Amino acid sequence: MSAQTVYRFSTPIGQAGGIYDLAPYEVNSFMNESADGALKFGMGVVQGSQPGKGIAVPASGATAAKFEGIVTNRRTSENAMFGGVELNQHITVGVMRYGRIYGLLAANEEPAYGDPVYLVISGNDAGCFAKTSTNNVAVKGVFLSGAQDGIALIELFHQAQA
């Protein structure tokens, strides 16, 4: 069960960080090394200062070899008193390493079924996904849907771990 972060009158395609189906997938637990609120469900993350233990929002210079996966929205967080969900520093989060999951898209991204997946590593969209390679890092995966409300379905393949 995911933390409900949006209320509407229509059914969305999914939620950022939501696992799509019961096909095989791997989710591992990591400690968030990023500042309070910087990490979001559906973001791509890279190794932190303690590879295998910590993760962080990517920054310039991040490589595909450091990509750990996508932050899942599963039973790890709840709404705070102010009504939002915030992933604070040093909490444990689930990270999908392979499987099907809804990922956050960079601004104005419009992927199509079968487009390759790239991780944005700089600017305001760091940690989001794009369909173009310009200034981004290729990850092993494909888009399985178009964009809706800033998310799209991504199928991650097993990432090579350094």
Q: Are 70 and 103 in contact (CB under 8 A)?
A: yes
58 in Cβ contact with 120 (< 8 Å): yes
- The answer to whether residue 52 scores a pLDDT higher than 50 is yes
pTM for the full predicted model: 0.88
* 138 closest CA partner among 159, 112, 155, 117: 117
Q: Which of 25, 127, 17 is nearest to 72 (CA)?
A: 17
Percent of the chain residues topping a pLDDT of 70: 85
- The yes-or-no verdict on residue 82 having pLDDT over 70 is no
Tell me the pLDDT of the chain averaged across its residues. Answer: 89
pLDDT tens digit string along 114-148? 999 999 999 999 999 999 999 999 999 999 999 99
pLDDT at 132: 94
State the DSSP string of 136-154.
EEEEEEEE-S--BTTEEEE
Q: What domains does the chain contain, in order, with CATH numbers?
A: 26-156 (2.40.300)
Length of the chain: 162
Residue closest to 29 by CA, chosen among 100, 74, 92, 72: 92
pLDDT at 153 exceeding the cut of 70? yes
Q: How confident is the model at residue 74 (pLDDT cuts 50, 70, 90)?
A: confident
Q: Which pLDDT does position 1 carry in this prediction? A: 47
Under the banding of pLDDT at 50, 70 and 90, the label for residue 87 is: confident
Check: CB of residue 48 under 8 Å from CB of residue 33: yes
- pLDDT for 25: 94
Q: Which one, of 127, 155, 150, 151, lies nearest residue 140 by Cα?
A: 155
Q: Which of 56-60, 72-76, 140-144 has the lowest mean pLDDT?
A: 72-76
